[in-house]
C-alpha cells in the first residue's frame, strides 16, 4: 500500500513537471503570446515590453541629470521703466488727420496726445555656459518689445544669489542673447550635440515657469527641424530649425535648458504651440549646435556673422496645387525658387529649379533643415552641395557669403503687390526733413499699401522693419528680405511726427 502511494506521488510529480515545462515554453518562452479569436477579430496582446529572457524594460532615471543641470539654470527678471509718449498729430484741416480722427479732434486736445506707459516687468530663464558668468537666453526674454533691450536685467541663481547682468550681444534672427554676470566658479552646463538627437529620445526641460522656483519636466523629442515663422516677428531674416518636444514648457521657461539624460545641453527652450498661451502639448527649443555658433559670434564680435547660400525656397505652407505646378516632391530636397544674382549659390552654378539634396554629405529634406545646417557655418566656409537638375545629380563646392544677395524677380513681384511707385528723395529734401534719406511713395493704387494701410501719396519711407533705408535700392533689398510681415516707418513733409504702417502677406 505504501509502495502504491509513493508511485502515485512520483507519477503526479512527473506529470506536474511536464505540465510546467510545457507551460513555460508556451507562455514564458514566448514573451508576446497572441490569442487566436474565433470571431475573426485581430489578436491582441498587452503592450508592456518583455524581452525573450522575460526581463521587463527598466525605467529611465532622470534624477542624476536633473541634479547636475538644475544649478546651472537661472531665473532672469527684467524691468522697463514707465514711459511718457508724446504723439504730435498733424495740424487740424490736414486730410490725413481728418481721415484718422475726424474734424475738430485736434482742436479739442491741442493737436497733441500724452499718455503714460506704466513700468513693465517680465521674467524668463537662462543657462550658465561658463564658470565666469556667461549666460545664454532668448532675445525676447531681455527685449523691450520694440526692438530695444530692457533697461534692467537681474539674474538669480538656484542658490538665491542675485546679480545685475549686462548684455554682451543679442540676435533676433535666432532669438538668442548672451548675458554676463560677475562671478567665479559658477555651475555651468556642458554642450551636447543636437545633430545626434533622435526622435523619441528622452529629454528634460528646466526653467522658471509662471514665476515658480526651478522646475524640471520630462518628455521626448517628437520632431526635428521645425519652422514656426515666429522669429519673423522680430527679424527680417529669421532662422528657425527647432527641436519639438512634449516636455511641459510654459511662460517663463523661455531661455531655459533642454537637456538629455546625460545632463548635456541640447537646446534652449524658446516657444510653445498653444491656443491659450499656456502649455498644450508641444514646445520648441533652439538646437544647441546653432546656439554654439551664435553665442561664439556674439561674444567675439558682438553680432552674428551669418552665412548665406543666396537662394529662395518655398514656404512650408505652400499649397499642394502649387507644389504640383512646380514639380516639387515632398522630402526630395529643397526646391530652389530663385537664386540671388550676387549670392553664393549663383557663383557655384546653382539655378532656379534645382533641388538641393545634401550639404556636406548630410541629407536635407526641408527648408528648415537647410537653414539650421547653414546657420552653424561661418562666412567664407566652403561647403559641398549636392543638387538635382532634370533628374540628374550634380555636386559643386560653394563658398558661403555674408549677405543673402538680391533677387530681381522677387523684388519686382513684391513691388507690384505693394501697388505704388517709389522714388529716392533729393538730398536737399532729406536735409529739410532732418533725415539722412528716404523713399517717396507715389501713385498709390490697388495693392497691399492701399488695401492694408491709410498711407497717402508723398509719404517718405525711412525704415523697413528694423532696417534704415535711404534709397530705392536699399528699399528693394530690405523689402525682399522682410518675410511675410513688416512695417514701413517714415514721415510726411510738412507735418510733425513719425508714422508706422504695418504690411502683411508680402511674400505669399
Within 309-349, where are the H helices? 320-326, 344-347
Cβ neighbours, 10 Å, residue 118: 9
| CA atoms of 97 and 20, how far apart (whole Å) | 94
In angstroms, the Cα distances linking 431 to 11, 21, 435, 458, 466 are 114, 99, 6, 16, 22
Cβ neighbours, 10 Å, residue 59: 6
| Contact criterion met (CB below 8 Å) for 253 and 213 | no
DSSP result, 294-313: HHHHHHHHSS----B--EE-
The residue ranges of DSSP E strands in 108-175, in sequence order, are: 112-117, 120-128, 134-137, 152-156, 162-164, 166-171
| CA atoms of 182 and 167, how far apart (whole Å) | 12
| CA atoms of 341 and 339, how far apart (whole Å) | 6
| Closest among 189, 140, 134, 181 to 162, alpha carbons compared | 181
Kindly report the backbone phi and psi dihedral angles of residue 368, in degrees, each rounded to the nearest multiple of 5, phi listed first. -65, -40
| CA atoms of 398 and 356, how far apart (whole Å) | 12
| CA atoms of 23 and 40, how far apart (whole Å) | 26
Q: How much is the CA Rg of the chain, to the nearest whole Å?
A: 31
The terminus-to-terminus CA distance of the chain in angstroms comes to: 99
DSSP state of 71: G
Crossing angle (nearest 10°) for helices 472-480 and 408-418: 100
Three-state SS annotation for 397-416: EEECECCCCCCHHHHHHHHH
- List residues with catalytic annotation: 140, 175, 254
| Closest among 120, 24, 134, 122 to 81, alpha carbons compared | 120
| Closest among 171, 239, 236 to 488, alpha carbons compared | 236
Helices and strands (H, E) in the chain, number of each type = 13, 28
DSSP state of 55: P
User: Across the strands, what pairs with 83?
Assistant: 117
Here the cell at position 194 is 543636437
DSSP result, 218-252: EEEEEEEEE--S-GGGT-SS----EEEE-S---TT
Location of C-alpha cell 555636386? 395
In angstroms, the Cα distances linking 134 to 97, 385, 397, 405 are 50, 35, 36, 34
Amino acid at each position: 500500500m505504501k509502495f502504491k502511494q509513493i508511485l502515485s506521488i512520483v507519477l503526479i510529480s512527473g506529470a506536474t513537471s511536464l505540465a510546467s515545462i510545457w507551460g513555460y515554453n508556451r507562455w514564458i518562452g514566448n514573451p508576446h503570446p497572441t490569442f487566436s479569436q474565433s470571431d475573426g477579430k485581430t489578436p491582441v496582446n498587452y503592450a508592456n515590453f518583455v524581452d525573450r529572457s522575460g526581463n521587463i524594460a527598466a525605467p529611465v532615471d532622470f534624477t542624476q541629470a536633473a541634479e547636475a543641470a538644475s544649478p546651472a539654470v537661472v531665473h532672469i527678471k527684467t524691468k522697463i521703466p514707465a514711459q511718457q509718449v508724446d504723439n504730435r498729430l498733424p495740424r487740424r484741416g490736414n486730410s490725413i488727420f481728418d481721415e484718422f480722427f475726424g474734424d475738430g479732434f485736434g482742436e479739442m486736445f491741442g493737436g497733441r496726445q500724452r499718455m503714460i506707459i506704466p513700468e513693465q516687468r517680465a521674467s524668463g530663464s537662462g543657462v550658465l555656459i561658463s564658470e565666469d558668468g556667461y549666460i545664454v537666453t532668448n532675445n525676447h526674454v531681455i527685449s523691450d518689445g520694440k526692438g530695444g533691450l530692457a533697461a534692467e536685467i537681474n539674474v538669480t541663481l538656484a542658490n538665491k544669489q542675485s546679480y545685475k547682468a549686462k548684455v554682451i550681444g543679442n540676435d533676433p534672427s535666432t532669438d538668442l542673447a548672451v548675458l554676463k554676470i560677475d562671478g567665479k566658479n559658477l555651475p555651468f552646463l556642458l554642450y551636447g550635440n543636437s545633430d545626434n538627437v533622435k526622435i523619441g529620445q528622452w529629454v528634460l526641460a528646466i526653467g522658471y515657469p509662471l514665476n515658480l522656483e526651478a522646475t524640471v519636466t520630462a518628455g521626448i523629442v517628437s520632431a526635428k527641424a521645425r519652422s514656426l515663422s515666429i522669429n519673423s516677428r522680430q527679424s527680417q531674416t529669421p532662422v528657425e530649425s527647432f527641436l519639438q518636444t512634449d516636455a511641459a514648457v510654459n511662460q517663463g521657461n523661455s531661455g531655459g535648458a533642454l537637456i538629455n539624460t546625460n545632463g548635456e545641453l541640447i537646446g534652449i527652450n524658446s516657444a510653445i504651440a498653444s491656443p491659450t498661451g499656456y502649455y498644450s502639448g508641444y514646445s520648441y527649443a533652439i538646437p544647441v549646435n546653432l546656439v554654439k555658433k551664435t553665442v561664439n559670434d556674439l561674444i567675439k564680435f558682438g553680432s552674428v556673422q551669418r552665412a548665406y547660400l543666396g537662394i529662395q525656397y518655398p514656404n512650408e505652407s505652400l499649397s499642394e496645387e502649387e507644389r504640383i505646378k512646380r514639380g516639387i516632391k515632398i522630402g526630395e530636397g529643397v526646391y530652389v525658387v530663385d537664386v540671388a544674382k550676387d549670392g553664393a549659390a549663383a557663383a557655384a552654378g546653382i539655378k532656379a529649379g534645382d533641388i538641393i539634396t545634401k550639404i556636406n554629405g548630410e541629407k536635407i529634406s526641408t527648408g528648415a533643415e537647410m537653414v539650421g545646417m547653414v546657420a552653424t557655418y561661418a562666412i567664407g566656409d566652403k561647403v559641398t552641395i549636392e543638387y538635382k537638375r532634370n533628374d540628374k545629380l550634380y555636386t559643386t563646392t560653394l563658398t558661403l557669403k555674408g549677405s543673402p544677395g538680391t533677387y530681381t524677380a522677387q523684388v519686382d513681384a513684391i513691388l507690384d503687390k505693394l501697388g505704388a511707385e517709389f522714388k529716392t528723395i533729393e538730398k536737399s529734401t532729406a536735409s529739410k526733413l532732418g533725415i539722412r534719406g528716404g523713399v517717396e511713395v507715389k501713385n498709390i493704387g490697388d495693392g497691399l499699401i492701399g488695401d492694408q494701410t491709410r498711407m497717402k501719396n508723398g509719404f517718405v519711407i525711412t525704415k523697413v522693419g528694423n532696417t534704415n533705408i535711404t534709397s530705392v535700392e536699399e528699399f528693394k533689398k530690405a523689402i525682399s528680405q522682410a518675410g511675410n510681415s513688416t512695417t514701413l516707418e517714415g514721415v510726411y513733409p510738412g507735418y510733425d511726427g513719425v508714422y508706422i504702417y504695418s504690411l502683411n502677406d508680402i511674400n505669399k
